[in-house]
C-alpha cells in the first residue's frame, strides 16, 4: 500500500516538472521572438523605417515624386550613418524636398541621386522583407498561443489528476485506518479470548479439585461409617457366640 502511494506521488511530481520545463521552453521561445522583433526594429531600424515612416505602399511612394524624393532622402541618410559619414541635415516632414536638397553638397547629392534611381527595387525589397517578417512573427505568435493553450490545458488536466489522486490517497488512507482499527480490534479480542480461556482453565481446575476433594471426603466418610458398622457387627457376633457357648 505504501509503495503504491509513493509511486502515485512520484508520477504526479514528475508530471508537474514536465509542465514547468514546457513553460520554460515557451518563455524562451517568446523571448526569442521578441528579441527578433527588437533586432528588426531597433538594432537596424533606419532602412526599414525609411519605408515605414512614409506610411504608404510602394505604388504610392513611387507614384508621387515628393514621397519618392523623401524615401530616397531617408535611404541616403541611412547609408551615410552606416558608412560612418555625417548624416544629412534634418528635413522636416512639412518641408518640401526641393528645399532640403539644396542644403546637400555635391558628394551627398550624388549619393542621393543614386538611391533615388534605385527607390523602386529597394522599396519592393523592403516591403517583401517586412511582409515576410510579419508572416513569420504571426506564425510564431500563433504557435506560441497554441503552445500556451496546450500548457494551460495540460495544467488544468494535471490539477484535475492531482485532485483525483489526492482524493484516492485520502480514500486509501481512510481504508488503511479502518483496516488498522479492525486489525487492532481483532488482536485485542484474541488477547481477551486467551485471557478468558486461561481463566476458564483455572476455574475448571479449581472446580475439579473441589469435586475431587468432595468425592474423597465422601469416600472417607463412607469408609469410616462402614468400619464402624463392621465393628458393631463383630461385637454382636462375639456376644452371640458367648451366649451359645454358655
Convert the pLDDT of each residue in 133-178 to its tens digit: 778 878 878 787 887 777 777 677 667 777 776 777 678 678 778 8
**Separation of alpha carbons 194 and 187, rounded Å:** 11
Residues sharing a CB contact under 8 Å with residue 79, sequence separation 6 or more, in sequence order: 85, 111, 115
Q: How many C-beta neighbours within 10 Å does residue 87 have? A: 13
Per domain, the residue ranges of the chain are 16-166
pLDDT, residue 188, reads 76
Positions in the chain whose pLDDT score sits under 70: 1-2, 4-5, 12, 15, 18-19, 21-44, 154, 157-158, 165, 169, 172, 246
- Please check whether residue 68 is in contact with residue 37, taking contact to mean a CB–CB distance below 8 angstroms: no
pTM of the model: 0.41
- Please check whether residue 79 is in contact with residue 107, taking contact to mean a CB–CB distance below 8 angstroms: no
- List of long-range contacts for 139-147, beta carbons under 8 Å, 24+ apart: 140/29, 140/33, 141/33, 144/26, 144/29, 144/30, 144/33, 147/22, 147/26, 147/29
pLDDT, residue 246, reads 56
Question: Phi/psi of residue 44, each to 5°?
Answer: -130, 65
Amino acid at each position: 500500500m505504501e509503495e503504491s502511494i509513493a509511486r502515485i506521488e512520484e508520477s504526479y511530481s514528475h508530471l508537474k516538472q514536465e509542465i514547468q520545463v514546457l513553460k520554460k521552453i515557451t518563455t524562451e521561445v517568446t523571448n526569442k521572438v521578441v528579441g527578433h522583433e527588437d533586432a528588426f526594429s531597433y538594432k537596424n531600424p533606419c532602412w526599414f523605417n525609411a519605408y515605414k515612416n512614409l506610411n504608404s505602399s510602394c505604388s504610392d511612394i513611387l507614384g508621387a515624386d515628393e514621397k519618392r524624393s523623401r524615401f530616397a532622402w531617408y535611404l541616403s541618410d541611412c547609408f551615410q550613418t552606416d558608412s560612418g559619414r555625417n548624416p544629412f541635415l534634418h528635413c522636416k516632414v512639412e518641408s518640401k524636398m526641393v528645399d532640403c536638397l539644396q542644403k546637400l553638397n555635391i558628394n551627398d547629392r550624388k549619393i542621393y541621386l543614386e538611391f533615388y534611381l534605385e527607390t523602386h527595387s529597394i522599396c519592393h525589397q523592403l516591403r517583401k522583407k517586412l511582409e515576410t517578417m510579419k508572416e513569420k512573427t504571426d506564425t510564431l505568435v500563433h504557435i506560441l498561443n497554441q503552445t500556451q493553450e496546450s500548457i494551460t490545458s495540460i495544467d488544468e488536466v494535471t490539477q484535475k489528476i492531482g485532485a483525483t489522486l489526492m482524493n484516492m490517497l485520502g480514500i486509501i488512507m481512510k481504508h488503511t485506518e479502518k483496516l488498522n482499527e479492525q486489525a487492532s480490534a481483532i488482536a485485542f479480542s484474541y488477547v481477551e479470548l486467551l485471557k478468558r480461556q486461561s481463566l476458564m482453565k483455572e476455574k475448571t481446575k479449581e472446580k475439579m479439585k473441589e469435586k475431587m476433594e468432595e468425592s474423597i471426603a465422601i469416600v472417607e466418610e463412607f469408609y469410616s461409617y462402614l468400619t464402624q458398622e463392621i465393628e458393631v457387627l463383630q461385637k454382636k457376633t462375639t456376644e452371640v457366640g458367648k451366649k451359645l457357648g454358655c
